[in-house]
Structure 1
Amino acid sequence: MQRKELRVILISLIVSFILTGTKFLAWFMTHSVAILSDALESIINVVAGAFACYSIYLAGKPKDENHPYGHGKVEFFSIGFEGAMIFIAGCLILFKAVQFFFIPTTLESIDKGLWIIGGTAAGNLILGAYLLGEGKKLSSLTITGNGSHIMTDVYSSGGLIVALLIIHFTGWTWVDPLASALMGALILRQGYRLLRQSISGLMDETDMQVVDKVIAILQEHRRVEWIDVHNMRVQQYGNNYHIDCHLTLPYYLLLNDAHEELKAMEKLVNDSFTSGEVEFFIHIDPCLSSCCHYCQMPDCAVRQHDFTGVIHWTRENVLPNRKHGEE
């Protein structure tokens, strides 16, 4: 999988390098600050692509003594680095836009610039859609983040084309720095979103979509021995997940039988995740008499209370550190 991720990101790097050079050619021809802004943003595509290559290589290294959970967290650094670079580029673009409001330049060859920017926008659209699709299939944060950035470049290029068309047909050169300022604001927003995602991952913020997916898998395939699951925590390392939880089992199970239940739960979740690996650290709790009313064990010789119904597992009763039914 790592080899495929590297191939995808190398394609992104090469295409971004070519498109960036093309945009700077359009700027030299037109002297448009809006085109310069678009070209400056594209430089970030190249720098971020190079950093992404390294982060994918590092994330694919096996666990070692110093990194017992693997190296997958570097992907959050990757998207954080990309977000920071995008944010800086947005600030520079806004600065140049304000500067050109007061010191305008003469625009040239707008029609040629339109064709060039249109071509680069089409190229980025194809590249961005490819990266987002591959990032989803490979569950790669780095590729998905890179694809999101490329798509932002497409949107900004679309706005730039509209601005150049207005300038071409009306001669309103003040539209040029205005378009640059709007692009800068859009780029700042995208940079903030990537930085926010990076910080969330590095701070181990819970991804509730992943939690809901794990709970749904366990709920659908729950075994009668699994009396309840609680105190669940999910951490993401690249496209791998580490899950801690407490599992309540009948207290009279033999150690070998209890171990088989843990293996069955881990295998169930891993088989349901199409990419990446899910590592479980499961703490076993023995059942108490208060568990009897929702325990599904048939013909239990030590049951002290009648069975009243199954408790449906949801994040509300799986995440807290208490057995179901406890206050």
Structure 2
Amino acid sequence: MNERTQVATLSVASNSFLTLAKIVIGSISGSVSILSEGIHSGIDLIAAFIALFAVRESGKPADSRHAYGHGKIENVSGTIEAVLIFIAAIMIIFKAIQKAYSILEGGGSTSDNLGIGMIIMGFSSLINFFVSRQLMRVGKRTGSIALEADALHLRTDVYTSAGVFCGLLLIKITGWAILDPLVAIGVALLIFKTSFELTKEAFSPLVDVSLPEEECEIISEVLRLHANEFVEFHKLRTRKAGAERHVDLHLVVAKYTPVVDVHELCDRIELEINKKLHGTHILIHAEPCSKRGEACPVEEATSPTCQRCQAKNENKRQRLDN
């Protein structure tokens, strides 16, 4: 079992325990804010199962039907998770409004079991803090959108659980039962925010949005380090599929440069990009320079690259004349 699968399994285990605990305690105490957290954790549990499935499937090698691999499974799973979070937030708001009406009409009161609710909320916040940190660490290092999405879920749960804890504490001190549904609505609003951010991050690669600007700059910097070995590069395109990055570009080299030299240059560029951006698949289309003298695309017509092109052109013409 690889590291990504291990942390995804850890998320499933922790969410299973917390979902059960919150629903049981919420039912005993009658607190809609605790029940809302139970619903939130239940959605997180479903999301954790989806993330576990996604990291397993996306790690499979390319096959005849999926020549570019299975990386976008992670993006699909992240989008589904975002929709689930959005649905959970709507459910929480609906339940909170019902509870608020009940309290305002004189049908709601504080519970004697809020203490155990505070304990489970505090415990939940601590567990999710450490699990989300581990998920985000592995997700960032491996470029897994599924693990990052799961980490965002649990990080939201850290804040919402802490918020519910504070709300229960205020209810216990003041006896104001109306704080319970108000805290639940606050939880839902935080969940809406997470859903929006996750949708944007997970869905963008599905429509082949370019890599972030800082990653494109890393690629350009590697190319600039080899600028004296080629004339120019253009048509640089980038995209991401799950944990995998895809890059392709056109590399203009001196005319009549031996194929083996061009191949070795492309290999060096690809290796250096991969050292800085792990899991990057690079396709370089090499093409000969067709310009000379004042039309040379480099800064100066007398540059070594331009001189080499002209020298090679001259040698070629001499061989043809002979």
Q: Give the TM-score taking structure 1 as reference length.
A: 0.87
Instruction: Check 1:10–1:284 CA distance in 2 against 1; reply closer, same or farther (3 A cut).
Output: same
| Counterparts of 2:150 and 2:284, CA distance in 1 | 35
For 2:147, which of 143, 148, 152 is the aligned residue? Answer: 143
Segments of 5+ residues of structure 1 without an aligned counterpart are 305-327
| Distance (Å, rounded) in 1 between the aligned partners of 2:260 and 2:180 | 73
User: What displacement does 1:170 show?
Assistant: 0.5
Q: 1:19 & 1:45 partners in 2: Cα distance?
A: 10
Aligned runs of 1:178-189 on 2, under 5 Å? 178-189=182-193
Are 1:166 and 2:177 matched, yes or no? no
1:176 aligns with 2:183: no
**Cα distance in 1 for residues equivalent to 2:16 and 2:76:** 22
Q: Conserved in 1, the CA contact under 8 Å of 2:254 and 2:309? A: no
Q: Which residue of 2 aligns with 1:226?
A: 230
After TM superposition, the structure 1 = structure 2 runs for residues 1-327 of structure 1, keeping only pairs within 5 Å, are 3-104=2-103, 105-108=108-111, 109-208=113-212, 209-219=214-224, 221-273=225-277, 275-276=278-279, 278-287=280-289, 288-289=291-292, 290-291=295-296, 293-294=298-299, 296-297=303-304, 300-303=307-310
What is the Cα deviation at residue 293 of structure 1?
A: 4.1
Shift of 1:214: 1.5
Percent identity between the two aligned chains: 29
SS state at 1:252 partner: coil
Provide the rounded CA distance (Å) in 2 between the counterparts of 1:241 and 1:14: 30
Distance 1:258 1:44 in 2: 52
Letter of the structure 2 residue corresponding to residue 225 of structure 1: E
Paired positions, count: 300
Deviations 1:17-76 (A, max 9, x none): 111111112202211111111110000111111111111111011111211110000010
Structure having the higher helix fraction is 2
Q: Is the 8 A contact 1:79 1:195 kept in 2?
A: yes
Q: Conserved in 2, the CA contact under 8 Å of 1:26 and 1:117?
A: no
Gap change, CA 1:292 and 1:50, over 3 Å in 2 = closer
Q: What does residue 309 of structure 1 align with?
A: none
Which range moved further: 70-79 or 139-148?
Answer: 139-148
Retained in 1: the 8 A contact 2:44–2:153? yes
Cα offset for 1:302? 4.7
Structure 1 vs Structure 2 CA RMSD: 1.8
Give the secondary structure class of the aligned counterpart of 1:191: helix
Contact preservation (8 Å) 1:35, 1:160 = yes
- Structure showing greater Rg: 2
Give the AA of the match of 1:32.
S
Between the aligned partners of 1:81 and 1:301, the Cα distance in structure 2 is: 55
Name the aligned partner's letter for residue 188 of structure 1. Answer: F
CA distance in 1, matches of 2:10, 2:306: 61
What are the Cα deviations for residues 126-177 of structure 1, in whole angstroms up to 9, with x where unaligned? 1111111121222211111111110001111111111111111001111111
Give ranges in structure 2 of 5+ residues lacking alignment.
312-322
Report if aligned partners of 2:296, 2:306 keep a CA contact under 8 Å in 1: no
Partner deviation per Cα, 1:253-311 (whole Å, 9 max, x = no partner): 122222222222112212333x32x222212232223335437536825559xxxxxxx
* CA displacement, residues 57-106 of structure 1 (integer Å, 9 cap, x when unaligned): 11011111211110000010111111110010001111111111112333
